[in-house]
Every structure is written in C-alpha cells, then in structure tokens.
Chains A and B, each alone.
Chain A
Amino acid sequence: MRCMPKVLPLNGDDAAAYAMKQIDPDVVAAYPITPQTELMQSFSQFVADGSVQTELIVAESEHSALSACVGACAAGGRVMTATSSQGLAYMWEILYIAAGYRLPIVMNVINRTLSGPINIHCDHSDTMGARDSGWLQIYGENPQEAYDNTIQAVRIAEHKDLRLPVMCCMDGFITSHAVERVELLDDDVVKDFVGEYVPTHPLLDIEHPVTYGPLDLYDYFFEHKMQEIDAMSHAEAVVREVSEEFGKIAGRRYSLLEPYAMDDAESAIIVLSSTAGTTRATVKAMRRAGKKVGMIKLRCFRPFPKDDMVRLLDGVKAVAVLDRSDGLGAYGAPVFNEVRNALFDEDFRPQIVNYVYGLGGRDIGQADIAKVYADLAEIISTGKVKQRVRYLGVRE
C-alpha cells in the first residue's frame, strides 16, 4: 500500500521525534543532552499536547533513564529513549543489562564526541564503544533516514527471532540540527506497520509470575549469553525482512548496506552516516570525469553484514575505510578492523587502508574525499601502501 507522502522540513531530531509520535510508545524515559535535546523537547511537546498516550519519565540522569526503560520494558511496555555522548557513557552498564534481559528498547543516539577535552560535536566515539553491548546499531545518513530507521527499529527490536534493543544513530548537529525535506507516512500507516507490541514475559502478567535479573553465575551465565549471541545471528535476516516490508509502504528501500556506483568500481570508500552523502556527491562528480570509483554506505554496523561486504568488494583493487572514531592502541579504527577482518579468508583481497576523520566534529568536504580516492589511485598504480592507518584533516 502506497500513500501520498506528507512532506515537512525537519531536522534529524525532529524527524525522529515525529516517528516516535506516530509509534506512540507506552513509555519514554530520558534525560536531555546536546545534541539529543531537541528530539526529546519535540517529543515532550507531543506528550504535553496529548498527541501521544506515552508515559514520559523525566529521569534525573541517563543511568536512571535507561534503568526506567528496562523496568518499563520488562513490565511489558513498548519503550523508547534517546541520548548522546556522555549520556550514552553514563548508560553503559544498563546497555548490557537491557540486551542481556532481551528487552527490545529502541534508542536514538545522536552521535557526539566523548570528552575529553569536552566537545559537543559529531564523531562516533560514543556508539563505537558500545558496539559489543548486544544492541543493534543502525546508522542514518540524513533526517529522512532518522525518521525511517526509528520506525523500522521498533519492528526489528521486537521481532520474535531477535528480542534485542536497537540504537538508531545519526550524526550530531550535521544531521540532528540540519533541516531537510522529510517525507512522512500517514499516522495510520505507521500504526499498522509497527502493530501492537506483544511482550513475551511481562512482569505485569500476574497470572504468569516471572523474575527478571536473578544472579546468574558460572553455571548459567554463559548459556544466557549464548542465547543472546544466537539471537544476534538472526539479526541480519530480521533487518533485511523489516527493511523490505518498510520499502513496500514507504517506497524507500533499505538493506544492511547501500552500494553506490560499485558495479565496475576499482576503488571504493566505506563510510557511515552523513559523510556518505559527501562521498556520494564526490563519486558522482568523479564518475563524470571517468574515474571508476564507488562507495559502500554501511547502514548496519551491528550486525555487521560480512557476506554482503565481501561480495561487494570482490574485484575492487583498493579500499579506504573512513572511521569517525579512533581505536586508540588498536591497529586501525573499529570499522576498518571489521572490514579488513572480513576479507582475510577471501582469495581476492584488495589493498585496504584506514582514514580516521572528523573527530570532534571536524568538517569533511568533497575535496577531502577526492584526496582519499587520489590516494587509492596511487596505491593501485604503484601497488604500495605507504601508510595503512591515516588521519584525514588533522593539523600537524
């Protein structure tokens, strides 16, 4: 079913808040932090206006906010929240608890640099640190994707094969505060798509008493973690299924990653979030000049779509992975490690280099991206990599 879209000028925060309004979750518990504040401000306005039935818990910290989400979700509610940076850091121990108890909470994370020194602008150091917490991570490129991802995340998290929490990530300020054209679905269409939440073991079902969070020592913890690992192994299929179904109602197609101009590409950049837009524009311009360049936008970092990535890189000669966070002390940053690791078993292995960029919100433009493609062209022509891990846009 396709309906005529309503189009509004919205920034990423307001687009995600509008999705939350249409989802109308049972409980939202949150604490404000830049650049997430505007999202929660918009949503609390919907609560104040009576546009949603949501019980809004204004917690005294992010630790308490996510704890309240855990309690409300265990009680049987559909639960959402949002945060950024230090707020995510303060939620840390509860992140693992939400995933470990298999609570399908959906959280928008507006990516912001972790202190210190203190900074309010975008990099991915906050969510990259949480990559092994048992939450799925979907990275949106623009306000439209912030809206679309929020709606899909509810279905993904609550899927019977998964029952895991989901983070929808968008770039702080770049996406969260920049107004763009956003196509909105009708309220009824979203309502039908997300459906009614059916909890599996709600605490409020007093006919079937259940204990959440008992002590779980060496004799059972490993088995419970194994269940979580097994659930995550279904995540790729779940994301694909929900994305395809969403495509039918929205006309916007999503998957775990999005290739652009990859069919005959000799060099490729792999990138997340808003920088994918900058890269796409650069590729478009370079293609007009006859350069065989391409891009893979990684939409899902958790689960990491290893097989799709390997398949897309088959035949590519040189690859640059752009990371908006560093892996201090590691050999390369998180996305680089993941992609390079995925290629180890393959007969065909491209040269692959890592560019750490944009830390603390440092701007990145098409000239920077073009420089990366020029570096890749040099690697292809010389067959040599001068420096495997590089830092793009930092002053010496």
Chain B
Amino acid sequence: MTEKPGWKTIPPGGLILAAGNAKEYKTGEWRTQRPVINKDLCSDCLTCWINCPDSSIVVADGKFKGFDLDHCKGCGICMAVCPKKAIRMEPER
C-alpha cells in the first residue's frame, strides 16, 4: 500500500478540490455478491443500465458490454429488473 499524504499537504477541512472524482473511489470493494450475465438471453434492452444506481452497466454502441466491477456494489437491482432473467448474482469469494 502506498503511503497516504499527511496533514501538512492535504487540502484543509476535508475539501476535495477537483470535480468528477467519485470514480476514484472503488466502491466495488463493498460487494458481497456479483452480477453475472448470460449473453445468450440478453436482448440489449438496457433496462439494467437505466436502473443501476451506481452507473455500473457498461454500454457501447447501444449494446450491453458488461459490469463495472470497480464500482458495482452488488445490490442486485439489475437482476431484479432484467425482463429476460439474463442476470444472476453469485457470491464473492
């Protein structure tokens, strides 16, 4: 683990002086179960993308491409809303 900066060098009062840095916080570490896709059933309807509270459904060219597991907290909403039952949750080991 790299040494974190000390009190003499960090911004005062807990301020964050840059925008758009939530992606640097890897909330995926919180996950106890992960979503797994069955591409044979997926119709690319992107209902999961609409509903994911952590913007962790990766989409390109209008197609489902996978999960952003650095930020997916494993809540299972994608599984619950998938009309094709193409997503299942598997325990993290």
Name A's B-contacting residues (CB within 8 A).
100-103, 163, 200-201, 208-214, 216, 219-224, 226-228, 230
Instruction: Tell me, yes or no, whether B10 is within 8 Å of chain A by CB.
Output: yes
The reply to whether A208 and B17 form a contact with Cβ atoms under 8 Å apart is yes
Name B's A-contacting residues (CB within 8 A).
4-7, 10-19
The reply to whether B12 and A227 form a contact with Cβ atoms under 8 Å apart is yes
Question: In angstroms, how far is the closest chain A Cβ from the Cβ of B37?
Answer: 31
The reply to whether A101 and B14 form a contact with Cβ atoms under 8 Å apart is yes
Please indicate the chain B residues that have their CB under 8 angstroms from the CB of A200 in the complex: 12
Q: B13 is contacted by which of A101, A209, A222, A230 (Cβ under 8 Å)?
A: A101
Give the complex CA separation of A230 and B19 in angstroms. 27
* CB nearest to B18 among chain A residues: A209
Q: A224 is contacted by which of B14, B18, B19 (Cβ under 8 Å)?
A: B14
Q: B16 is contacted by which of A100, A103, A214 (Cβ under 8 Å)?
A: A214
Q: A102-B13, A223-B7 are known contacts; what are 8 more A-B pairs with Cβ within 8 Å?
A: A101-B13, A163-B12, A200-B12, A201-B11, A201-B12, A212-B15, A221-B14, A223-B10
Give the complex CA separation of A211 and B12 in angstroms. 11
With known contacts A102-B12, A227-B12, A201–B4 Cβ distance under 8 A: no
Q: A213 is contacted by which of B12, B14, B18 (Cβ under 8 Å)?
A: B14
Most buried by A among B13, B16, B19: B13
Question: In angstroms, how far is the closest chain A Cβ from the Cβ of B61?
Answer: 31
Give the complex CA separation of A223 and B17 in angstroms. 16
The reply to whether B7 and A230 form a contact with Cβ atoms under 8 Å apart is yes
The reply to whether A220 and B17 form a contact with Cβ atoms under 8 Å apart is no
The reply to whether A212 and B4 form a contact with Cβ atoms under 8 Å apart is no
Please indicate the chain B residues that have their CB under 8 angstroms from the CB of A213 in the complex: 14
Please indicate the chain B residues that have their CB under 8 angstroms from the CB of A208 in the complex: 17
Provide a sorted-by-A list of 17 A–B residue pairs whose CB atoms are within 8 angstroms: A100-B14, A102-B12, A102-B13, A201-B15, A201-B17, A208-B17, A209-B18, A211-B16, A212-B14, A219-B4, A220-B10, A220-B14, A222-B7, A223-B10, A224-B10, A224-B14, A227-B10
Please indicate the chain A residues that have their CB under 8 angstroms from the CB of B11 in the complex: 201
The reply to whether A100 and B13 form a contact with Cβ atoms under 8 Å apart is yes
The reply to whether A210 and B17 form a contact with Cβ atoms under 8 Å apart is yes
Give the complex CA separation of A163 and B11 in angstroms. 13
* CB nearest to A163 among chain B residues: B12
Give the complex CA separation of A224 and B12 in angstroms. 7
Please indicate the chain B residues that have their CB under 8 angstroms from the CB of A228 in the complex: 13
The total of interchain contacts (Cβ-Cβ below 8 angstroms) comes to 52
Please indicate the chain A residues that have their CB under 8 angstroms from the CB of B7 in the complex: 222-224, 226-227, 230
* CB nearest to A200 among chain B residues: B12
Q: In terms of DSSP, what is the predominant structure of the interface of chain B?
A: loop
Give the complex CA separation of A352 and B6 in angstroms. 41
* CB nearest to A214 among chain B residues: B16
Question: In angstroms, how far is the closest chain A Cβ from the Cβ of B73?
Answer: 15
Please indicate the chain A residues that have their CB under 8 angstroms from the CB of B14 in the complex: 100-101, 212-214, 216, 220-221, 224
The reply to whether B13 and A223 form a contact with Cβ atoms under 8 Å apart is no
Question: In angstroms, how far is the closest chain A Cβ from the Cβ of B13?
Answer: 4
Question: In angstroms, how far is the closest chain B Cβ from the Cβ of A176?
Answer: 32
Give the complex CA separation of A208 and B11 in angstroms. 14
Please indicate the chain B residues that have their CB under 8 angstroms from the CB of A220 in the complex: 4, 10, 14
Give the complex CA separation of A201 and B6 in angstroms. 20
Question: In angstroms, how far is the closest chain A Cβ from the Cβ of B91?
Answer: 26
Please indicate the chain B residues that have their CB under 8 angstroms from the CB of A211 in the complex: 15-16
* CB nearest to B6 among chain A residues: A223
Give the complex CA separation of A200 and B17 in angstroms. 11
Give the complex CA separation of A118 and B15 in angstroms. 40
Please indicate the chain B residues that have their CB under 8 angstroms from the CB of A224 in the complex: 7, 10, 12-14
Give the complex CA separation of A156 and B91 in angstroms. 56
A-B pairs with lowest CB-CB distance, top 4: A211-B16, A223-B7, A209-B19, A102-B13
Please indicate the chain B residues that have their CB under 8 angstroms from the CB of A163 in the complex: 12-13
Question: In angstroms, how far is the closest chain B Cβ from the Cβ of A241?
Answer: 20
Give the complex CA separation of A228 and B7 in angstroms. 10
* CB nearest to B17 among chain A residues: A210
Give the complex CA separation of A202 and B6 in angstroms. 24
Give the complex CA separation of A59 and B42 in angstroms. 53
Please indicate the chain A residues that have their CB under 8 angstroms from the CB of B16 in the complex: 210-211, 214
* CB nearest to B19 among chain A residues: A209
Give the complex CA separation of A102 and B13 in angstroms. 6
Question: In angstroms, how far is the closest chain A Cβ from the Cβ of B52?
Answer: 21
* CB nearest to B13 among chain A residues: A102
Question: In angstroms, how far is the closest chain B Cβ from the Cβ of A95?
Answer: 14
